[in-house]
Amino acid sequence: MKYKAAVSHNNLAGLVVLSPQPASDGIQTPEYVYSGDRSKYGRGDESIILKYDDMIPVSEGIAVLTAFGIDTEPDSDVTVLLPDDLRGWAAYNGKAYRPDNLRHQNGYYRNLHIMIGGLEII
């Protein structure tokens, strides 16, 4: 499987493969809480940061931003296909945010990171 994205929630039919493919540390939960019976559950919104740490051409960076609807907007509702520890890959609704430090130099983006917050499995 590969990372995929589409603008708007519940848009499984519109998912497109991200090219180039990002790296990530997986889905993050802000805090884990343990209950009296020793079961563990996450509290807070899950999120993921998709990382393009190498230099990528501006044209490829814009294609990635466009796939998330954040090429011209600061944030956008999205549907994404992400790796999941329990299911392998799963589809989620979330909100993608354009990086604040988005700059290019000599026709390349460096360290393009896209945060997707409020993940909810579909």
> How does strand 112-121 pair with strand 88-97?
antiparallel
Asked if residue 33 is part of any domain, the answer here is no
Measured in Å, how far apart are the chain's first and last C-alpha atoms? Answer: 17
Evaluate whether residue 98 is within a structural domain.
Answer: yes
**52 within domain boundaries:** yes
Cα 115 to chain centroid distance, Å, stands at 5
| pLDDT tens, N- to C-terminus, the chain (122 residues) | 899 999 999 999 999 999 999 999 999 887 777 888 888 776 778 999 999 988 999 999 999 999 999 999 999 999 999 998 776 899 999 999 999 888 888 999 989 999 999 999 99
Q: According to the model, what pLDDT value does residue 21 have? A: 96
Q: Is residue 34 part of a domain?
A: no
Question: Whole-angstrom Cα distance, residue 54 to residue 111?
Answer: 6
List the domain range (segments joined by +) for residue 82: 4-28+40-121
**Domain assignment present for 82:** yes
Q: How many domains does the chain have?
A: 1
Residue 55 lies in a domain: yes
Q: The tokens of 71 are what?
A: 């090429």
**Assigned domain for 94 exists:** yes
Give the residue from 116, 15, 23 showing the smallest Cα distance to 75. Answer: 116
